[in-house]
Amino acid sequence: MNTFSNFQINQMTVGIIGSGTMGIGIAQVAATSGCDVFLYDANAHQTEKSLLNLKNTLTKLVEKQKISPEKSQDILSKIKVCTELSAFEDCDLVIEAIIENKEIKTKVFKDVEEIVSENCVIASNTSSISITSLQAELKNPARFIGIHFFNPAPLMPLVEVIPGLLTGDGLATEMYALMEKWGKTPVIAKDVPGFIVNRIARPFYGEALRIVEEHIATPAQVDDAMRTLGNFRMGPFELMDLIGIDVNFSVTKTVYADYFYDLKYQPSLLQQRMSEAKLLGRKTGKGFYDYTPGAPQPVADKNEELYQQIFMRIISMLINEAVEAKRLGIANDEDLELAMQKGVNYPKGLLAWGREIGYGKISDTLQDLYRYYQQERYRQSPLLTEM
C-alpha cells in the first residue's frame, strides 16, 4: 500500500461522498490544503446548495481578510462536482460523509472498491458505527479506516483517526500525519462505540436530561450552571439544540446498543419524545428553547446550592467516563485530553479536571448517586479509586 508520507499534498486527489454540511466542510479542508477534490452526492440539489454556501463562506473570509481572493478562487477551483462514483478512479483517498446507516454506507464502500485503485485508502467519517464492521464487508479491508471530523469541519480542529481490527499496520500513523498536514489536531482512537468524544461526552447530555426529567431543575438552570460553574461555552440543552436533538438521540442509541445496553449509556425518554414531536432544535425552530424570531427566552432561576449539585453530578460522570477510557486504553492520556478540548470545546481536559477537583470528591459524588438511585449507571471505574 502506498504511504501518504510519500505524497506531496498538492498532488493528492481526494474523493468525498456526500455534499451535506460535513461533506462540503471536509472538501473545503482538503482543497484549502492543495488537494484536488471530487465531490459526489446522489442529490444534485444538495450539492448545488452546499457549493453556494461554500462560496458565501469564502466571500466572508475574504472580506475579513482571513484569506486572499486568489486563495478563495483556488479552493473553489479544486472542488470538482461529479455525478458518478466512477470519477473517483484516480483518487488516492476517498472519505464517506453520508447518513449514519451501516447498510447504506456498506453498499457505497463496495461500489467504491470496484472503482478505485488497490492503493486508494477508503475512509468513513462515521461518528458512532464500528469501523471493523464496515471494513469487514470489503475485499481489501486493510485499506479502510475511520477519519472522524467534527462539525463544522473547517473550524473544529479535532479529527479522530480510528483503525479497525483489519486496518493495515501503519495506516493510522499515515492518516494522522496527513491530518496534521491538513492543519488539524488528530488523535488515534480505539474502535469502540462512540470512539473517544462521543463515548466520553454521553453523560454531558444523559445526566442533564435526567436532572430535567426528575424536575430537579429546568434546562435553562442546567445550562446556566454548566456555563457559570464549569465555564462550558454552551450548556447541554443549548448544545443538543445546536447539534439536532434527533442526531444526538441517534448517537446515544447507537452507543447504548453497541455496548450491549450498558445502563451508563441508556437513552432518555424525554429526548425520544422531543424527537417524535419533531422539536429538534435550531433546525426546526424549536427544541428545548424557542428560536422563533421574537420568542421570549426562559430566564434561569439562579440557586447556588442547586447549581453546585447539577455541576458536580454531571462533571463527576464525565470524569469517571474519561478515567474508564484511560483504563481501557481507548487512547493515550494526551489524546483523551486533546479530544474533549478540541472536539467539543471543553474548557479543560477531564483527567486534569479530576485532579483539580480531587478524585476522592468525584468518587464520593458517584457513591452518593449510586446509593440514592441504586442504578448501575453510577458505578465507578475501577481505576478511579487508584487515581
Q: Which residues are catalytic?
A: 148
Q: According to the 3-state scheme, what is the secondary structure of 28-75?
A: HHHHHCCCEEEEECCCHHHHHHHHHHHHHHHHHHHHCCCCCHHHHHHH
Which is nearest to 383 in space by CA: 331, 339, 319? 319
Cβ–Cβ under 8 Å, residues 142 and 168: yes
Angle between helices 44-63 and 69-78 (to 10 degrees): 160
Distance CA 10, CA 118 (A): 21
The alpha-carbon radius of gyration of the chain (Å, integer) is 22
For residue 321 the three cell numbers come to 467516563
For residue 314 the three cell numbers come to 454531571
Question: In one letter, which amino acid is 45?
Answer: H
Distance CA 156, CA 184 (A): 8
Residue 270, C-beta contacts closer than 8 angstroms, at least 6 positions apart? 209, 212, 213
Residue 100, C-beta contacts closer than 8 angstroms, at least 6 positions apart? 126, 127, 128, 129, 250, 251, 254
